[in-house]
Amino acid sequence: MALSSVEFGRFIVVFERVKCVAERYGLSKEDFYNILDLFKKYSDIVAKVIIFGSRARGDYKKNSDIDMAIVFKKDNYKIYEIIEELETKNIIYTFDIIDFDKISNEKLRSYIINEGKVIFLSNEKGEMLVTLNKVMDKLENFKNAYNKLTESLNRDFLEDDIVIDAAIKRFEFTYELSWKLMKSYLEYTGSFESTNPRNTIKTAFKEGLILDGDIWLKMIVDRNKTAHTYDEKNALEVLKNTKDIYVPLFKNLISKIEDELRDQGDSPLGHDSII
């Protein structure tokens, strides 16, 4: 069914939003995580960091400044210390940093609330919380692992034991990334906190993130078979299950997460609301 002009316009806006996050606002992965690492040092006093301006909108130029607003829990005078440390980073761009709570211009304040993107979030204990950036990174890693797994499964297992071993390792790796992606997304939406794959899968099923929850639980059993002992017969059985059953589940998870992220386009900050 064809999209209406309004629906198509909304899709383009959401696509650009997700694309902007995936590209880390025009920054290299190294630069982006250098910035986040600095804020981790101040997680006891920094509640939230919002990037705004052209880098948040996606219409930045190669040499655009990095505009950021910081929401402090306390000790907001340390903003000068943070600015000084940012300037010593081996990052070519100019930083423009402001204290969100000291913004007197209501138009600017409203703009940051409505258009800004949260890149750092911590709780009262100083623990890092999941942001959209983390979900996107985990999605990207999972997709890469999925692609490598499907490449391995297209080879003839009976030709070489090495092919079997490599495919099993890729199945194990893809499985680990799949439940950790679910975990991050569920934490991002405020649904769940766990380090246990079985509980994560059960909650993902309950929340409608995955279908066929019983088959996902069977995947855990197959994963455990390959982890503790090696038997070629078991390995071939697991690879057959992977090719026939698990690969479609992995593919569906990718599509579901991407759809969910697109659907959040109506709220520019998702659950990472500034207020």
How far apart CA 139 and CA 19 sit, in angstroms, is 13
Predicted confidence (pLDDT) at residue 122 exceeds the cutoff of 50:
yes
Name the residue among 121, 105, 122 with its Cα closest to residue 50: 121
Asked if residue 253 lies in contact with residue 181, where contact means CB atoms within 8 angstroms, the answer is yes
Number of Cβ within 10 Å of residue 248's Cβ equals: 12
The pLDDT assigned to 261 comes to 83
Average pLDDT, the chain: 85
Query: Which CATH architecture does the domain made up of 133-264 adopt?
Result: Up-down Bundle (1.20)
Which structure tokens are listed for 268? Answer: 């520019």
Band (24; pLDDT cuts 50, 70, 90): confident
Secondary structure (DSSP) of 2-60: PPPHHHHHHHHHHHHHHHHHHTTTT--HHHHHHHHHHHHHTTTTEEEEEEETHHHHT--
Predicted confidence (pLDDT) at residue 273 exceeds the cutoff of 60:
no
Helix axes 232-241, 161-188, angle to 10 degrees: 50
Name the residue among 178, 181, 168, 88 with its Cα closest to residue 138: 181
Percent of the chain with pLDDT over 90: 61
Residue 168 one-letter amino acid:
I
Asked if residue 182 lies in contact with residue 201, where contact means CB atoms within 8 angstroms, the answer is yes
- Give Cα separations from 198 to 139, 249, 253 (angstroms): 19, 16, 16
Residue 137 one-letter amino acid:
D
How far apart CA 243 and CA 168 sit, in angstroms, is 11
**Mean pLDDT along residues 98-124:** 93
The pLDDT assigned to 23 comes to 58
Name the range with the highest mean pLDDT among 23-32, 115-124, 136-145.
136-145
Q: What is the CA radius of gyration of the chain?
A: 22
Name the residue among 70, 136, 151, 149 with its Cα closest to residue 103: 70
Predicted confidence (pLDDT) at residue 187 exceeds the cutoff of 90:
no
Q: pLDDT, tens digit, for every residue of 37-59? A: 999 999 999 999 999 999 999 89
Domain 5-129 and domain 133-264, same fold? Reply is: no
Superfamily of segment(s) 5-129: Beta Polymerase, domain 2 (3.30.460.10)
How far apart CA 216 and CA 223 sit, in angstroms, is 11
What DSSP designation does 102 have? G
The pLDDT assigned to 7 comes to 44
Predicted confidence (pLDDT) at residue 33 exceeds the cutoff of 80:
yes
Which structure tokens are listed for 254? Answer: 């990718």
How far apart CA 194 and CA 202 sit, in angstroms, is 11
Delimit the domains of the chain by residue range.
5-129, 133-264
Residue that wins the pLDDT comparison between 130 and 150: 150
In the block, tokens 């997460």 appear at 257
Predicted confidence (pLDDT) at residue 13 exceeds the cutoff of 60:
no
The pLDDT assigned to 264 comes to 61
Predicted confidence (pLDDT) at residue 228 exceeds the cutoff of 60:
yes
Which structure tokens are listed for 57? Answer: 């909108």
Predicted confidence (pLDDT) at residue 5 exceeds the cutoff of 70:
no
Residue 220 one-letter amino acid:
I
* Window from 20-24, 50-54, 119-123, 141-145 with minimum mean pLDDT: 20-24
**Mean pLDDT along residues 241-269:** 83
Which structure tokens are listed for 52? Answer: 């705004």
The pLDDT assigned to 248 comes to 97
Q: In the chain, count of helices (H) and strands (E)?
A: 11, 4
